[in-house]
Homo-oligomer: A and B are copies of this chain.
Amino acid sequence: MEYTLDYFTGLAEDAIAGISYPTTAPGLYEPIQYTMASGGKRLRPALCMAAYAAVSRREPLEIAHQAIAVEMFHNFTLLHDDVMDNADLRRGRPTVHRRSGQNAAILSGDAMLTMAYGLLAEGAGSRFANIFEVFNHTAMEVYQGQQLDMEFESRTDVKVDEYIEMIRLKTSVLIACGCTIGAMLADAEKEVCRRLYDYGLALGLAFQLRDDWLDTFGDPAVFGKEIGGDIANNKKTWLLITALNEAPEQITPLLSNKLDREEKVSRVTEIYRSLGLDRRCDELAARYAKDAIAAIDELEMDATARAFFKSLATNAATRNH
Protein backbone atom coordinates (compact mmCIF):
# COMPACT_ATOMS: atom_id res chain seq x y z
CA MET A 1 0.00 0.00 0.00
CA GLU A 2 1.28 3.43 -0.90
CA TYR A 3 0.02 6.75 0.35
CA THR A 4 -0.65 8.57 -2.91
CA LEU A 5 -3.84 10.10 -4.20
CA ASP A 6 -3.57 8.00 -7.36
CA TYR A 7 -3.51 4.83 -5.29
CA PHE A 8 -6.65 5.68 -3.32
CA THR A 9 -8.38 7.06 -6.40
CA GLY A 10 -7.68 3.77 -8.13
CA LEU A 11 -9.23 1.85 -5.25
CA ALA A 12 -12.28 4.11 -5.40
CA GLU A 13 -12.64 3.62 -9.16
CA ASP A 14 -12.47 -0.16 -8.76
CA ALA A 15 -15.05 -0.10 -5.97
CA ILE A 16 -17.37 2.08 -8.06
CA ALA A 17 -17.03 -0.29 -11.01
CA GLY A 18 -18.01 -3.14 -8.68
CA ILE A 19 -21.26 -1.59 -7.38
CA SER A 20 -24.17 -3.94 -8.01
CA TYR A 21 -27.45 -2.44 -9.16
CA PRO A 22 -30.92 -3.99 -8.88
CA THR A 23 -32.34 -5.46 -12.07
CA THR A 24 -35.92 -4.19 -11.71
CA ALA A 25 -36.56 -1.08 -13.81
CA PRO A 26 -32.99 -0.81 -15.19
CA GLY A 27 -33.87 2.60 -16.68
CA LEU A 28 -33.68 3.94 -13.13
CA TYR A 29 -30.06 2.84 -12.66
CA GLU A 30 -28.54 3.66 -16.03
CA PRO A 31 -28.26 7.40 -15.20
CA ILE A 32 -26.69 6.48 -11.84
CA GLN A 33 -24.05 4.31 -13.48
CA TYR A 34 -23.43 7.06 -16.04
CA THR A 35 -22.99 9.61 -13.24
CA MET A 36 -20.77 7.40 -11.11
CA ALA A 37 -18.56 6.58 -14.11
CA SER A 38 -17.91 10.24 -14.86
CA GLY A 39 -14.55 10.38 -13.11
CA GLY A 40 -13.80 13.41 -11.02
CA LYS A 41 -11.13 13.63 -8.36
CA ARG A 42 -12.64 10.96 -6.05
CA LEU A 43 -11.25 13.06 -3.23
CA ARG A 44 -13.95 12.08 -0.70
CA PRO A 45 -13.69 8.29 -0.96
CA ALA A 46 -9.89 8.56 -1.23
CA LEU A 47 -9.71 10.54 2.02
CA CYS A 48 -12.21 8.24 3.72
CA MET A 49 -10.11 5.16 2.92
CA ALA A 50 -6.83 6.96 3.66
CA ALA A 51 -8.09 8.04 7.09
CA TYR A 52 -9.15 4.47 7.84
CA ALA A 53 -5.81 3.04 6.71
CA ALA A 54 -3.76 5.68 8.52
CA VAL A 55 -5.55 5.13 11.83
CA SER A 56 -5.90 1.35 11.71
CA ARG A 57 -2.99 0.28 9.49
CA ARG A 58 -5.52 -2.02 7.82
CA GLU A 59 -6.59 -2.49 4.21
CA PRO A 60 -8.43 0.62 2.94
CA LEU A 61 -10.76 -1.49 0.81
CA GLU A 62 -12.32 -2.93 3.97
CA ILE A 63 -14.45 0.22 4.08
CA ALA A 64 -14.91 0.58 0.33
CA HIS A 65 -18.73 0.59 0.68
CA GLN A 66 -18.74 3.48 3.12
CA ALA A 67 -16.17 5.41 1.06
CA ILE A 68 -18.33 4.97 -2.05
CA ALA A 69 -21.44 5.99 -0.08
CA VAL A 70 -19.85 9.41 0.45
CA GLU A 71 -18.91 9.62 -3.23
CA MET A 72 -22.40 8.59 -4.31
CA PHE A 73 -23.93 11.25 -2.10
CA HIS A 74 -21.57 13.81 -3.62
CA ASN A 75 -22.51 12.75 -7.15
CA PHE A 76 -26.20 12.82 -6.26
CA THR A 77 -25.87 16.47 -5.21
CA LEU A 78 -24.06 17.29 -8.47
CA LEU A 79 -26.80 15.57 -10.49
CA HIS A 80 -29.60 17.56 -8.82
CA ASP A 81 -27.51 20.78 -8.82
CA ASP A 82 -27.12 20.41 -12.58
CA VAL A 83 -30.92 20.23 -12.95
CA MET A 84 -31.30 23.33 -10.76
CA ASP A 85 -28.60 25.21 -12.71
CA ASN A 86 -29.89 23.92 -16.03
CA ALA A 87 -26.28 22.98 -16.83
CA ASP A 88 -25.39 21.38 -20.15
CA LEU A 89 -22.11 19.74 -19.25
CA ARG A 90 -20.51 18.05 -16.25
CA ARG A 91 -16.89 17.00 -16.49
CA GLY A 92 -17.03 17.42 -20.26
CA ARG A 93 -20.01 15.12 -20.80
CA PRO A 94 -23.72 15.94 -21.22
CA THR A 95 -25.53 16.24 -17.89
CA VAL A 96 -28.09 13.56 -17.03
CA HIS A 97 -31.09 15.84 -17.55
CA ARG A 98 -29.79 16.83 -21.02
CA ARG A 99 -29.18 13.19 -21.86
CA SER A 100 -32.12 11.38 -20.26
CA GLY A 101 -34.57 14.17 -19.44
CA GLN A 102 -35.32 16.11 -16.31
CA ASN A 103 -37.64 13.53 -14.76
CA ALA A 104 -35.01 10.81 -15.05
CA ALA A 105 -32.48 13.16 -13.48
CA ILE A 106 -34.73 13.91 -10.50
CA LEU A 107 -35.80 10.31 -9.93
CA SER A 108 -32.37 8.73 -10.45
CA GLY A 109 -30.91 11.35 -8.13
CA ASP A 110 -33.40 10.34 -5.44
CA ALA A 111 -32.43 6.72 -5.97
CA MET A 112 -28.74 7.63 -5.67
CA LEU A 113 -29.35 9.20 -2.29
CA THR A 114 -31.10 6.06 -1.06
CA MET A 115 -28.34 3.87 -2.57
CA ALA A 116 -25.77 5.98 -0.72
CA TYR A 117 -27.52 5.14 2.56
CA GLY A 118 -27.57 1.47 1.57
CA LEU A 119 -23.84 1.48 0.85
CA LEU A 120 -23.18 3.23 4.15
CA ALA A 121 -24.88 0.39 6.01
CA GLU A 122 -23.27 -2.44 4.06
CA GLY A 123 -20.98 -4.36 6.36
CA ALA A 124 -20.79 -1.52 8.90
CA GLY A 125 -22.21 -3.72 11.66
CA SER A 126 -22.35 -2.15 15.09
CA ARG A 127 -20.63 1.01 13.81
CA PHE A 128 -23.54 1.84 11.53
CA ALA A 129 -25.61 3.93 13.95
CA ASN A 130 -22.71 6.30 14.65
CA ILE A 131 -21.56 6.81 11.08
CA PHE A 132 -25.20 7.14 9.99
CA GLU A 133 -25.64 10.02 12.43
CA VAL A 134 -22.62 11.90 11.05
CA PHE A 135 -23.60 11.17 7.45
CA ASN A 136 -27.22 12.26 7.92
CA HIS A 137 -26.27 15.44 9.74
CA THR A 138 -23.75 16.21 7.01
CA ALA A 139 -26.34 15.66 4.28
CA MET A 140 -28.65 18.24 5.90
CA GLU A 141 -25.76 20.71 6.06
CA VAL A 142 -24.99 20.21 2.37
CA TYR A 143 -28.61 21.08 1.48
CA GLN A 144 -28.39 24.12 3.74
CA GLY A 145 -25.26 25.17 1.88
CA GLN A 146 -26.96 24.74 -1.48
CA GLN A 147 -29.97 26.73 -0.20
CA LEU A 148 -27.70 29.59 0.94
CA ASP A 149 -25.86 29.50 -2.40
CA MET A 150 -29.19 29.86 -4.21
CA GLU A 151 -30.27 32.69 -1.91
CA PHE A 152 -26.96 34.51 -2.43
CA GLU A 153 -27.64 34.71 -6.17
CA SER A 154 -30.32 37.35 -5.66
CA ARG A 155 -28.49 39.25 -2.91
CA THR A 156 -25.84 41.97 -3.29
CA ASP A 157 -25.14 42.33 0.45
CA VAL A 158 -23.54 38.95 1.16
CA LYS A 159 -20.74 39.24 3.72
CA VAL A 160 -17.46 37.33 3.40
CA ASP A 161 -18.20 35.41 6.61
CA GLU A 162 -21.53 34.29 5.15
CA TYR A 163 -19.74 33.09 2.04
CA ILE A 164 -17.22 31.08 4.06
CA GLU A 165 -20.10 29.54 6.03
CA MET A 166 -21.89 28.67 2.78
CA ILE A 167 -18.88 26.88 1.26
CA ARG A 168 -18.23 25.18 4.59
CA LEU A 169 -21.73 23.71 4.37
CA LYS A 170 -21.93 23.12 0.64
CA THR A 171 -18.46 21.67 0.10
CA SER A 172 -16.31 21.17 3.18
CA VAL A 173 -18.51 19.21 5.57
CA LEU A 174 -18.82 16.28 3.17
CA ILE A 175 -15.04 16.03 2.80
CA ALA A 176 -14.79 16.22 6.59
CA CYS A 177 -17.52 13.58 6.87
CA GLY A 178 -15.51 11.21 4.66
CA CYS A 179 -12.39 11.68 6.78
CA THR A 180 -14.11 11.22 10.12
CA ILE A 181 -16.17 8.22 9.01
CA GLY A 182 -12.93 6.55 7.94
CA ALA A 183 -11.52 7.16 11.41
CA MET A 184 -14.74 6.03 13.14
CA LEU A 185 -14.75 2.77 11.20
CA ALA A 186 -11.19 2.24 12.43
CA ASP A 187 -12.49 2.62 16.01
CA ALA A 188 -10.36 5.71 16.51
CA GLU A 189 -10.74 7.76 19.67
CA LYS A 190 -13.15 10.70 19.55
CA GLU A 191 -10.32 13.22 19.51
CA VAL A 192 -8.75 11.52 16.49
CA CYS A 193 -12.10 11.49 14.67
CA ARG A 194 -12.58 15.17 15.48
CA ARG A 195 -9.11 16.11 14.24
CA LEU A 196 -9.59 14.27 10.96
CA TYR A 197 -12.95 16.02 10.62
CA ASP A 198 -11.26 19.40 11.14
CA TYR A 199 -8.62 18.42 8.60
CA GLY A 200 -11.28 17.72 5.96
CA LEU A 201 -13.13 20.91 6.79
CA ALA A 202 -10.08 23.14 6.37
CA LEU A 203 -8.94 21.22 3.29
CA GLY A 204 -12.36 21.77 1.71
CA LEU A 205 -12.23 25.51 2.34
CA ALA A 206 -8.71 25.74 0.87
CA PHE A 207 -9.90 23.70 -2.10
CA GLN A 208 -12.93 25.90 -2.80
CA LEU A 209 -11.03 29.18 -2.41
CA ARG A 210 -8.41 27.89 -4.85
CA ASP A 211 -11.28 27.00 -7.19
CA ASP A 212 -12.49 30.60 -7.04
CA TRP A 213 -8.94 31.87 -7.60
CA LEU A 214 -8.23 29.54 -10.54
CA ASP A 215 -11.34 30.55 -12.45
CA THR A 216 -10.07 34.13 -12.60
CA PHE A 217 -6.30 33.98 -12.19
CA GLY A 218 -5.51 30.49 -13.45
CA ASP A 219 -3.32 29.72 -16.42
CA PRO A 220 -5.70 28.74 -19.26
CA ALA A 221 -3.12 26.35 -20.70
CA VAL A 222 -2.97 24.35 -17.45
CA PHE A 223 -6.46 24.97 -15.98
CA GLY A 224 -8.21 22.90 -18.62
CA LYS A 225 -11.23 25.15 -18.97
CA GLU A 226 -11.87 28.72 -20.01
CA ILE A 227 -10.86 31.42 -17.55
CA GLY A 228 -13.44 34.00 -16.45
CA GLY A 229 -16.62 31.91 -16.37
CA ASP A 230 -17.39 33.00 -12.81
CA ILE A 231 -16.97 36.68 -13.72
CA ALA A 232 -19.06 36.35 -16.89
CA ASN A 233 -21.89 34.73 -14.87
CA ASN A 234 -21.66 37.12 -11.88
CA LYS A 235 -21.04 34.07 -9.74
CA LYS A 236 -20.83 34.97 -6.07
CA THR A 237 -17.30 33.80 -5.39
CA TRP A 238 -15.02 34.96 -2.57
CA LEU A 239 -13.53 37.41 -5.07
CA LEU A 240 -16.80 39.01 -6.14
CA ILE A 241 -18.24 39.12 -2.62
CA THR A 242 -15.11 40.76 -1.25
CA ALA A 243 -15.10 43.28 -4.10
CA LEU A 244 -18.81 44.02 -3.55
CA ASN A 245 -18.06 44.69 0.11
CA GLU A 246 -14.92 46.78 -0.41
CA ALA A 247 -15.51 48.62 -3.67
CA PRO A 248 -19.22 48.39 -4.55
CA GLU A 249 -19.17 51.59 -6.61
CA GLN A 250 -16.44 50.15 -8.86
CA ILE A 251 -17.74 46.60 -9.26
CA THR A 252 -21.53 47.00 -9.39
CA PRO A 253 -21.74 48.79 -12.78
CA LEU A 254 -19.82 45.93 -14.38
CA LEU A 255 -22.40 43.31 -13.35
CA SER A 256 -25.18 44.50 -15.63
CA ASN A 257 -23.97 42.43 -18.57
CA LYS A 258 -23.93 45.31 -21.02
CA LEU A 259 -20.26 44.68 -21.72
CA ASP A 260 -19.08 41.88 -23.96
CA ARG A 261 -17.57 38.90 -22.16
CA GLU A 262 -13.94 39.64 -22.82
CA GLU A 263 -14.12 43.26 -21.72
CA LYS A 264 -16.12 42.38 -18.61
CA VAL A 265 -13.68 39.67 -17.53
CA SER A 266 -10.72 41.96 -18.14
CA ARG A 267 -12.17 44.95 -16.26
CA VAL A 268 -13.44 42.93 -13.29
CA THR A 269 -10.10 41.11 -13.04
CA GLU A 270 -8.37 44.50 -13.01
CA ILE A 271 -10.51 45.64 -10.07
CA TYR A 272 -9.78 42.38 -8.22
CA ARG A 273 -6.06 42.98 -8.73
CA SER A 274 -6.28 46.61 -7.66
CA LEU A 275 -7.89 45.45 -4.39
CA GLY A 276 -5.14 42.83 -3.99
CA LEU A 277 -7.69 40.02 -4.10
CA ASP A 278 -5.49 37.67 -6.10
CA ARG A 279 -2.89 37.71 -3.32
CA ARG A 280 -5.41 37.78 -0.46
CA CYS A 281 -7.43 34.85 -1.84
CA ASP A 282 -4.20 32.94 -2.21
CA GLU A 283 -3.19 33.76 1.37
CA LEU A 284 -6.57 32.72 2.74
CA ALA A 285 -6.41 29.36 0.95
CA ALA A 286 -2.88 28.89 2.29
CA ARG A 287 -4.08 29.64 5.82
CA TYR A 288 -6.78 26.97 5.58
CA ALA A 289 -4.23 24.50 4.19
CA LYS A 290 -2.07 25.27 7.23
CA ASP A 291 -5.06 24.73 9.54
CA ALA A 292 -5.66 21.37 7.88
CA ILE A 293 -2.06 20.31 8.45
CA ALA A 294 -2.12 21.52 12.05
CA ALA A 295 -5.24 19.44 12.72
CA ILE A 296 -3.51 16.16 11.91
CA ASP A 297 0.11 17.00 12.65
CA GLU A 298 0.12 15.53 16.13
CA LEU A 299 -1.94 12.45 15.36
CA GLU A 300 -0.20 9.12 15.67
CA MET A 301 0.29 7.68 12.19
CA ASP A 302 3.04 6.46 9.88
CA ALA A 303 5.26 9.14 8.39
CA THR A 304 4.11 8.20 4.87
CA ALA A 305 0.47 8.66 5.88
CA ARG A 306 1.17 12.03 7.48
CA ALA A 307 3.10 13.18 4.42
CA PHE A 308 0.14 12.19 2.25
CA PHE A 309 -2.36 14.24 4.24
CA LYS A 310 0.02 17.20 4.36
CA SER A 311 0.78 17.22 0.66
CA LEU A 312 -2.92 16.95 -0.17
CA ALA A 313 -3.64 20.04 1.92
CA THR A 314 -0.79 22.01 0.40
CA ASN A 315 -1.87 20.95 -3.06
CA ALA A 316 -5.49 22.02 -2.45
CA ALA A 317 -4.33 25.60 -1.96
CA THR A 318 -1.66 25.72 -4.66
CA ARG A 319 -2.87 23.46 -7.47
CA ASN A 320 -3.10 24.87 -10.98
CA HIS A 321 -6.00 22.73 -12.19
Contact = CB atoms under 8 A, between A and B. Distances in A.
B151 A27 contact: yes
Contacts of A118: 136, 140
A106 interface: yes
A110 interface: yes
A143 interface: yes
A161 B106 CA distance: 27
A80 B110 contact: yes
B129 A106 contact: no
B129 A143 contact: no
Contacts of A3: none
A274 interface: no
A160 interface: no
Interface in A132-153: 132-133, 136, 139-141, 143-148, 150-151
A271 interface: no
Given A121-B132, A128-B129, A107 B146 contact: yes
A155 to B, nearest CB: 12
Given A114-B136, A117-B136, A128-B129, A144 B103 contact: no
Contact of A25 (B83, B107, B129, B147): B147
Given A121-B133, A140-B115, A84 B106 contact: yes
A216 B110 CA distance: 32
A24 interface: yes
A43 interface: no
B107 A150 contact: yes
Given A110-B113, A117-B136, A129-B128, A147 B28 contact: yes
Contacts of A128: 128-129, 132
A148 B25 contact: yes
Nearest to A140: B114
A284 interface: no
**Interface centre among A145, A146, A148, by most B CB within 10 Å?**
A146
A136 B22 CA distance: 13
Contacts of A117: 117, 132, 136
A118 B28 CA distance: 25
A111 interface: yes
A248 B144 CA distance: 51
A144 B80 contact: no
Contact of A143 (B114, B132, B151): B114
Interface of A: 22, 24-25, 27-28, 80, 83-84, 102-104, 106-107, 109-111, 113-115, 117-118, 121, 128-129, 132-133, 136, 139-141, 143-148, 150-151, 169
A-B residue pairs, 8 tightest by C-beta:
A25-B144, A28-B147, A25-B147, A84-B103, A114-B139, A111-B143, A24-B144, A118-B136
Given A107-B150, A113-B113, A118-B136, 12 more contacts: A22-B140, A24-B141, A25-B148, A28-B144, A83-B106, A104-B150, A107-B143, A109-B110, A110-B113, A110-B143, A111-B140, A114-B136
